[in-house]
Amino acid sequence: MNIAQISLQEQAIIFSAALVLFTSFALLAQQRILASIHVFAWQGFLVATTTALIALVSGQHHLYYSALLTLVLKALLLPWMLHELVRRLGIVHHVETVVQPAMILLAAAALVVFSYYVALPIEKLSSLSTRNTIAISMAVVLIGMLIMVSRRQAVSQVIGFMSMENGLFFVAVVSTHGMPMVVELGIAFDVLVAAVLFGVFFFQIRDSIESLDVDQLNRLSESVEPDGTAE
């Protein structure tokens, strides 16, 4: 499927899919919490746009509802909730320190190559016009995982998780033109509930270890203070 031979709408699908991948990389590179929430909102917006474009090209009208759901949930509601959370936790200006940022970005590029390699046989079987974007959407899932692995801050990890969920939804849309509405609604509410639960958890974590740096959870310092005296 050469890009010069397909219609402008299909080109637009491919273009916005590439932009979704770009926002994934931006999320990975972004070290400021507030900015990464904004990038996450843009990713949700782009996924919704791509879904709407696929609905337009393929004539699958139920995808419009999916797109609308994604737009409201991923581009507006969840970023707003995270924003509120960050504001109430008082970490608006927090800057995450990532170890070896250059290596992690190159690892993400390697993940894109890997998902291309994995998706190649699937693309051969599929006859959908969006089959080329399967690899991209899988890469978004894997990069979401990489964000969770490479971050220490609980909030950034949750953003990585949400971005992974974006990727999963994207895989479903481009490989099968969307899941049944019931499943999609279920997942949407799951994510919403997850976001609420994460919010509660953040406060719990902060109350017990006085930080959101989850690396500190590795230490068993409940009974012993850092200087060795018993509590």
Partner 1 sequence: MTWTGWLLALLQTTLFVACAPLLAIWIKRNKCFWQNRRAPRYVQPYRDLIKLFRKQVVLAENASPLFRMAPYIVFAATIVAAATVPLVATELPTTAIADMLVLIGFLALARFFLALAGMDIGTAFGGMGASREVSLASLAEPALLMVVFTIAMSVQSTNLSNAMTHLLESGLVLRPSLLFALLGLLLVAVAETGRVPVDNPATHLELTMLHEAMILEYSGRHLALMEWAAQLKLMIFGVLIANIFFPWGIATEFTAAALATGLAAVAVKLALLGAILAIAETALAKMRLFQVPQFLNLAFLLALLGALTHIILEAGT
Nearest one of 14, 4, 12, 7 to 174, comparing CA atoms: 14
Q: Check binding of 14 to partner 1 (CB under 8 A).
A: yes
Instruction: Draw the binding track, 212-231, toward partner 1 (x: CB under 8 A; -: no contact).
Output: --------------------
Q: How far apart are CA 118 and CA 129, in angstroms?
A: 19
Q: Check binding of 200 to partner 1 (CB under 8 A).
A: no
Q: Check binding of 127 to partner 1 (CB under 8 A).
A: no
Contact 76, 106 (CB under 8 A): no
Region 23-42 residues binding partner 1, contact defined as CB under 8 A: 25, 29
Interface residue with partner 1, options 15, 80, 189, 203 (CB under 8 A): 15
Give the burial class of 213: count Cβ atoms within 10 A of its Cβ; 0-12 exposed, 13-18 middle, 19 or more buried. middle
- Residue type at 113? V
Q: Which is nearer to partner 1, 17 or 37 (CB)?
A: 17
Phi–psi pair at 220, nearest 5 degrees: -95, 85
Q: Which is nearer to partner 1, 11 or 211 (CB)?
A: 11
Tokens representing 51 are 């879904």
The residues that touch partner 1, with contacts defined as CB under 8 A, are 1-4, 8, 11-12, 14-15, 17-19, 21-22, 25, 29, 101-102, 105-106, 109, 112-113, 116, 132-133, 135-136
